Chain A
Amino acid sequence: MIWNEAKECMSRDEIESLQSARLVKAVNRVYHNVEYYRKKMQAKGLEPGDIRGIEDLHKLPFTTYEDLNATYPFGLAAVPKSELVRLQASSGTTGKPKIAVYTRRDIDIWSECAARCMTMAGITRDDIIQVGYGYGLFTGGLGAHYGAEHIGALVVPMSTGNTQKLVTMMVDCEVTAIACTPSYLLHVAETLRDQGLLDKIKLKVALCGAEPWTDNMRSQMEELLNIKAFDIYGLTEICGPGVATDCEYHKGLHIWEDHFLPEIIDPVTGEQIDSSEYGELVITTLTKEGMPLLRYRTKDLTSIDKTPCECGRTMARIQRFKGRSDDMLIIRGVNVFPSQVEAALLTIDGTTPHYMMVVDRKDNEDTLEVQVEVEERFFSDEIKELEALSNKIKATLKTAIGLNAKIKLVEPNGLVHSEGKTKHVTDNRKLYEK
């Protein structure tokens, strides 16, 4: 099923002329309403008239996390605050969250995009869907919720944190669809199996996102739960879940090009490259009112396939991600930068001890261990003092990154200190296809 055939199946020519028209409008809007963008464009000697269509996209300045940080919190808003109805946020690299603000129309378009994704996964008004993403500043919960409600499905807003309740309700309420992170779904599947409930569920489909996953994980969950699993992509800065999803042919994620203009750049030089080549995904929002973004660098590495898909949709497909061009980690669906951990450790005693983040996946749940060297200033002859130190680090990290980490105190010089840039992350998970 296709939610909006008129849009999802437009010819490539129609898509591109619509994008061009919308890009021209979007550039005009930010130039006149966002001082920061106006200055950025002026610095490149650009006026709105220089952008006549998508062929001129490459002339526009990029938007990066640094720009969001410099304009935090409302510097990129293109409408008066009275027009804004929502704020969402995700973690940034240095403590300041990445904020996105939305007008009522932005929320409507977000719902429309999420509805297209839901429909692509085969979810209809007849389904009962559990949303197992966190509700709150994180876009996952509310994004999936609005999309599912928009198509008329019965939404069960589970949020995160209570697997037993989720499993019980899945059985009792005959839930047919679920939206959550892939690793959490595998955890749910194992809980169902361990409780002998696998043949008591009516689940048909899962819409998984917020972290990278592999085809191997897909077949694992499809087999275990006897369902179809789909990949949904989104990012707070653009709108959250609903930017792209894969169809039943699983040949990449259809991105809603009438609202989000994708391009691929060389992450090192910043040059636009042929979108069929691997590089960094850059997205320009075409219809955003609250916080339109020009050429936002997602840091996600992928390529784009514009050939028609067997499902009938013409919207381009972004391919499986090959990694990131920065050091962001996604742990249990939460974005974590090593720099956040570093900044948090700094607050413990004024200087940063040597540390190492070890990320792993055990029983389909991400684990984070932070190893901290016990330097002389921390050292005590009493166990309770060291345990207090460990608890303090744990609490500080929980506040900073929103995750419970296992703290392991290690001997001074117990971690590898390489010359120059010390390696701070060991990720033992296999998240990306080779």
Chain B
Amino acid sequence: MLAKQVTVFIENREGRLCEVLEILKENDINVVGASIADTSDFGLFRMIVNEPQKACDALKAGGIMSKLTDIISVVVPHKAGSLEKVLKVINEAGINIEYMYGMSSQNSDAAIAIKTEDLEATQALLEKHKLTE
């Protein structure tokens, strides 16, 4: 299903990540998935949280710019081949994956957050293959 991701631009300097997480903690926001992509100068801290808009507002109030973007979250059962199955479908449709990372799901299964070049098409594709809950 489509979900909102919170992306934060952070300079590569000590303690910046902690400042971000501290603001989220103080605002009672739960982080259920996160990844960092970085270059030598800066990084992008991407998060799935329980209350995305509230997270953005809180970060803004704390002087940190963030942005909401759509991603697709897909549940992948704890068994061999379940992640491969999802990616294969997307790959065979010729859709590029921009990035992906793990996140927790509502139940005991795992989940992944995927950003592709065409989210709508990806979502439709996954529905067709009954890969969404």
Contacts and interface: CB of A to CB of B under 8 A. Distances in A.
B63 A413 contact: yes
Nearest to B115: A381
Nearest to B63: A413
Given A374-B9, A409-B42, A411-B11, A382 B65 contact: no
B37 A383 contact: yes
A379 B67 contact: yes
A414 B65 CA distance: 11
Interface string B1-42: 000010101110000000000000000000000000111011
Contacts of A380: 67
B63 A381 contact: no
Interface residues of B, number: 20
Contact of A381 (B38, B41, B44): B44
Interface string B55-91: 0000000011101010000000000000000000000
Contacts of B44: 381-383, 386
B98 interface: yes
Interface in A395-419: 408-414
Contact of A408 (B38, B41, B69, B98): B41
Given A386-B39, A387-B39, A410-B42, 11 more contacts: A375-B65, A379-B9, A381-B44, A381-B46, A383-B39, A386-B9, A409-B41, A411-B64, A411-B65, A412-B65, A413-B63
Contacts of A13: none
B112 to A, nearest CB: 16
Contacts of A410: 11, 42
Contacts of B41: 408-409
26 contacts: A374-B9, A376-B65, A379-B7, A379-B65, A379-B67, A380-B67, A381-B5, A381-B46, A381-B67, A381-B69, A382-B98, A382-B99, A382-B115, A383-B37, A383-B38, A386-B39, A386-B42, A408-B41, A409-B9, A409-B41, A409-B42, A410-B42, A411-B10, A412-B9, A412-B65, A414-B11
Nearest to A376: B65
Interface string A138-173: 000000000000000000000000000000000000
Nearest to A375: B65
A381 B69 CA distance: 7
Interface in A410-430: 410-414
Interface of B: 5, 7, 9-11, 37-39, 41-42, 44, 46, 63-65, 67, 69, 98-99, 115
**Chain A facing B: main interface SS:** loop
B59 to A, nearest CB: 11
A374 B11 CA distance: 10
A408 B5 CA distance: 25
Interface of A: 374-376, 379-383, 386-387, 408-414
B109 to A, nearest CB: 25
Which residue, of B39, B42, B63, B69, has the highest number of chain A Cβ atoms within 10 A? Answer: B42
Contacts of A411: 9-11, 64-65
Contacts of A386: 9, 39, 42, 44
Contacts of B46: 381
B67 A376 contact: yes
Contacts of A414: 11
Contacts of B9: 374, 379, 386, 409, 411-412
Nearest to B9: A374
Contacts of B39: 383, 386-387
A380 to B, nearest CB: 8
A409 B65 CA distance: 13
A379 B64 CA distance: 12
A412 B9 CA distance: 9
Nearest to B43: A383
Contacts of B69: 381
A383 B69 CA distance: 14
B108 to A, nearest CB: 29
Contacts of A379: 7, 9, 65, 67
Nearest to A407: B41
A375 to B, nearest CB: 8
A314 B69 CA distance: 73
A376 B9 CA distance: 10
A375 B37 CA distance: 19
A376 B11 CA distance: 15
A232 B103 CA distance: 65
B62 to A, nearest CB: 11
Nearest to B65: A412
Contacts of B38: 383
Nearest to A387: B39
A338 B35 CA distance: 38
Contacts of A413: 63
Which 6 residue pairs are nearest across A and B when measured between Cβ atoms?
A: A381-B7, A381-B69, A412-B65, A383-B37, A408-B41, A374-B9
Contacts of B64: 411
A358 to B, nearest CB: 13
A412 B67 CA distance: 13
A410 B39 CA distance: 12
A101 B92 CA distance: 65
Contacts of B37: 383
